[in-house]
Amino acid sequence: MNFYVMTLFPEMIQQGMQDSILGRASRNGVLCLDAVNIRDYTEDKHKKVDDYPYGGGAGMLMQAQPVYDCYKAIRDGIASKKGDGYGKNTRVVYLTPKGKTFHQKMAEELAKEEDIIFLCGHYEGIDERVLEEIVTDYVSIGDYILTGGELPALVMIDAIARLVPGVLNNEASANVESFYNDLLEYPQYSRPEQWHGKGVPPVLLSGNHKKIEEWRLQQSEKKTQELRPDLYDKYSRRKNLAEKLAKKNKALYADMSESLRRGLGELVYEGEDGAVVLDENAGTCFLAAFLEQAADKIVETIPIDADICQFVLHQEWLMPSMERSYRIVEKNVCRRAIYTQKIPLAVPKNVDIRRLDKSYLEEVSSHYSMGSKEYIEERLENGSIYGAFLDNKLAGFAGEHIEGSLGMLEVYKEYRRRGIGESLEAYMINHQLSKGYLPYGDVIERNEPSYKLQQKLGLKITKETFCWVVIEK
């Protein structure tokens, strides 16, 4: 991932990144940081980059010309590395107290970019005309005023970079998926066992990993309740809804409860009459109306400005209400398959299974008809598609969909009837189990071969059907 920082103080950025984990990642080539001095681009012979504001007022403003030319040089550099037109889509983040407040979800979203340009202001700000032309995101790191954007840029780079695969040694430490993420860290202890007359909680010395996990969760809940009641409220609402849905029908609502548990979806509505969960990153909204009369009310709770392209309707009676509010262009009736056991499946050793990278884009998209090329590219970039290799040749693949279900299972014609589909699915189930997930998949009604495979692997299939609908954007 490449970070470009437009600044009047490039040393401040370089020094901030030199040491620590980010410094190592940068030396290893996982990250690249380019601090570009805006002053190098001024046309003023005295190297001036600021001037008085029109209309009067205190202080000086950074002028449009050096900022724009600095940006243009970075953008042209990106375009020449990656191909024409590329730099035009690069996000430009302007650090300003007037921006949207930075948070973890924003870091996760930005970590998916290949290049980001940061613009650090100084003095009283920057000429509005250049901001209008180049800035895509206005971001603040909190409600206080700093002397410039360099520290905020470093804060953002640190939070984003640690999410980039390969930056942290231990990948699990950046695992952001779980509603436990709404909780504060549990207390930790290191040697010696006694210090200032204080011991270590005995459970941590017990070697019982299950008990240790339980204790840590309890401690996290307690600390969050005490110190951040706002976070605790969010956490308990998500947790309660996930539990309530699982009690009602674990398999039918596995998509909603897993979306909440894995930290993908937000709780939009929860009541006696139904529930709504929105995963904006996946463009998917999940609806449940427990009572037929509640259908209109449930549909009305969908946020109008949300970026949604598909819905999962868990009851048939939601359809008329949906049709009154949206133009539906595609509809697929499905049943849910879930793997409820905790023990991993035995994966037959008939193939070698490996994660696929972006170099497989053409091959995967030519064999998979249920998603666009852009979607497959996103899934490959996310590391969510795995391939089965026979004699080093790709024989099929399977993956995790953006909203969390297992699927995309495809075995090439010439390799069918050899148990490769079974190996791929068993592998994916184990992969999700290792992340603490409840593995589930959506099977299109009447896909008999898929039902057979699910049953063979021990998955339960719902008698209830539900509906995936795609709407006109």
Site for ligand ADE, rule CB under 6 A: 95-97, 140-142, 144-146, 149, 152
The strand pairing partners of 267, in sequence order, are: 277
**Spatial CA neighbour of 446 closest among 338, 334, 336:** 334
Q: Shortest Cβ distance from residue 112 to ligand ADE (Å)?
A: 22
Least CB distance from residue 91 to ligand ADE, whole Å? 16
340 neighbors 465 (Cβ within 8 angstroms): no
What is the spatial distance between Cα 137 and Cα 156, in angstroms, rounded to a whole number? 13
Neighbours of 117 (CB within 10 A): 26
Q: What pairs with residue 393 in β-bridges? A: 390
In the complex, the smallest distance separating the C-beta of residue 234 from ligand ADE, rounded to whole angstroms, is 24
Q: Which is nearer to ligand ADE, 93 or 337 (CB)?
A: 93
Using alpha carbons only, give the angle 314, 317, 320 rounded to the nearest 5 degrees: 115
- Token output for 367: 């064999």
Residue with tokens 């969908």: 302
Helix axes 420-434, 448-456, angle to 10 degrees: 60
Residue number, 150 or 410, with CB nearest to ligand ADE: 150
Does a cis peptide bond (omega within 30 degrees of 0) precede residue 348? Answer: no
Closest CA to 409 of 337, 471, 470, 462: 337
Nearer Cβ to ligand ADE (4/179): 4
Q: Which of 8/95 has CB closer to ligand ADE?
A: 95
Q: How far is the CB of 264 from ligand ADE (least distance, A)?
A: 28
Minimum CB distance to ligand ADE, residue 94 (Å): 8
Residue 317: other Cβ atoms inside 10 A = 14
Toward ligand ADE, which CB reaches closer, 66 or 152? 152
Cα–Cα distance measured from residue 278 to residue 276, given in angstroms and rounded to the nearest whole number: 7
- b/e per residue, 169-180, with b = 16+ CB within 10 A? eeeeeebeebbb
Nearer to ligand ADE, 149 or 441 (CB): 149
Q: In Å, how far are 7, 69, 75, 89, 134 from 83, measured between CA atoms?
A: 26, 20, 11, 12, 20
Kindly state the tokens that stand for 338.
């879930």
**CB neighbours (10 Å) of residue 290?**
14
Minimum Å gap between C-beta 95 and ligand ADE is 4
CA distance linking residue 322 with residue 471, whole number of Å: 10
- Measured from the CB atom, the residue of 7 and 450 that comes closer to ligand ADE is 7
Q: How far is the CB of 128 from ligand ADE (least distance, A)?
A: 16
In the complex, minimum distance from the CB of residue 120 to ligand ADE, in angstroms, rounded to a whole number? 8
* Cβ-proximal residues to 27 (8 Å cutoff; 6+ apart), any chain: none
Q: How far apart are CA 341 and CA 433, in angstroms?
A: 9
Q: Nearest approach, Cβ of 72 to ligand ADE (angstroms)?
A: 23
User: Residues 385, 399: contact at Cβ < 8 Å?
Assistant: yes
Question: Of 123 and 326, which has the nearer Cβ to ligand ADE?
Answer: 123
Nearer to ligand ADE, 32 or 146 (CB): 146
Place of tokens 């899934």: 379
Nearest distance from residue 151's CB to ligand ADE, in Å?
Answer: 8
